[in-house]
């Protein structure tokens, strides 16, 4: 029996994160027969913004044939820019921000209605409650140790003028306290015109349920392959 050809999942981390955020998901995708590429965005340089983050991902994708682009949280602002510049097979947004054309990261919070939710992340406890519910304490401590400063690009308009011509799926996390399900469903309908797929877990689902997340990413890719090949 012939083995279905695998793909490469290009993994884009969220705000203040790093490629480490995907370190538990990558081996699970490898076990499913895929290759992975987790990219460190140059977020610490205040001169960089979404356009420069996309530059880093595009450069890392050199030599790849139609990869699957996966973006978490703030990485959702970078992913469509990447997909406008390379040929991607599929774009998957994992509890991610969805930019409007020309919208800056600073404008996103008010433009989507997020600011009306009253979610506070000023203290460490508030960050734990919003981002890390369900994540084991040792992984939370490791995540804080790998945290980086998100220094630039807040007021830089999104380079996209229209959504890229690539199949797009959105993966909602049912237990997310930062981007709550009702907020996400409305946002996805308004900005993408689709119904999100769903998975158990909080905002940091890649640390909480890496095997389930990898399995869902594999499932979404296989569904896309079936649509294309019949």
Q: Name which of 195, 26, 196 is nearest 95 in CA terms.
A: 196
> Do residues 150 and 74 lie in contact, with contact meaning Cβ atoms separated by under 8 Å?
yes
Rg (CA), the chain: 17
**Across 205-211, average pLDDT:** 98
**Mean of the per-residue pLDDT values of the chain:** 96
Give Cα separations from 182 to 40, 120, 198, 228 (angstroms): 30, 18, 12, 31
User: Does position 42 have pLDDT exceeding 90, yes or no?
Assistant: yes
pLDDT in tens, 48-92: 999 999 999 999 999 999 999 999 999 999 999 999 999 999 999
User: Does position 153 have pLDDT exceeding 90, yes or no?
Assistant: no
Q: Quote the distance between the C-alpha of residue 55 and its chain's center.
A: 16
Give the integer Cα–Cα distance in Å for 14 and 69. 14
What phi and psi values does residue 186 have, to the nearest 5 degrees? -65, -45
Tokens coding 154: 């807040």
* Alpha carbon distance, N-terminus to C-terminus of the chain: 18
* Percent of all residues in the chain with a pLDDT value above 70, rounded to a whole number: 97
Q: What single-letter DSSP state applies at residue 40?
A: -
The pTM of the full predicted model, rounded to 2 decimals, is: 0.96
Q: Name which of 25, 154, 181 is nearest 95 in CA terms.
A: 181
For the chain, list the domains and their CATH numbers.
8-225 (3.40.50.1820)
Which burial class, exposed, middle or buried, applies to 145 when counting CB atoms under 10 A from its CB (0-12, 13-18, 19+)? exposed
Give the integer Cα–Cα distance in Å for 126 and 182. 20
């Amino acid at each position: 029996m012939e083995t279905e050809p695998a793909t490469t999942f290009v993994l884009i981390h969220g705000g203040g994160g790093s490629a480490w955020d995907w370190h538990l998901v990558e081996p699970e995708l490898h076990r499913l027969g895929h290759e992975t590429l987790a990219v460190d965005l140059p977020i610490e340089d205040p001169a960089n913004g979404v356009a420069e983050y996309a530059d880093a991902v595009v450069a890392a994708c050199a030599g790849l044939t139609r990869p699957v682009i996966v973006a978490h949280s703030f990485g959702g602002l970078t992913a469509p820019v990447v997909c406008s510049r390379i040929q991607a097979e599929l774009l998957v947004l994992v509890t991610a921000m969805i930019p409007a054309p020309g919208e800056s990261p600073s404008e996103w919070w008010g433009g989507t209605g997020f600011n009306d939710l009253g979610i506070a992340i000023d203290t460490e406890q508030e960050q734990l409650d919003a981002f890390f519910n369900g994540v084991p304490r040792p992984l939370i401590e490791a995540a804080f140790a790998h945290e980086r400063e998100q220094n630039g690009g807040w007021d830089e308009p999104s380079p996209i003028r229209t959504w890229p011509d690539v199949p797009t799926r959105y993966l909602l996390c049912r237990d997310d306290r930062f981007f709550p399900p009702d907020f996400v469903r409305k946002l996805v309908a308004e900005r993408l015109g689709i119904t999100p797929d769903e998975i158990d877990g909080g905002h940091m689902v890649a640390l909480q349920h890496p095997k389930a997340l990898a399995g869902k990413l594999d499932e979404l890719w296989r569904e896309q392959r079936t649509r294309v090949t019949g």
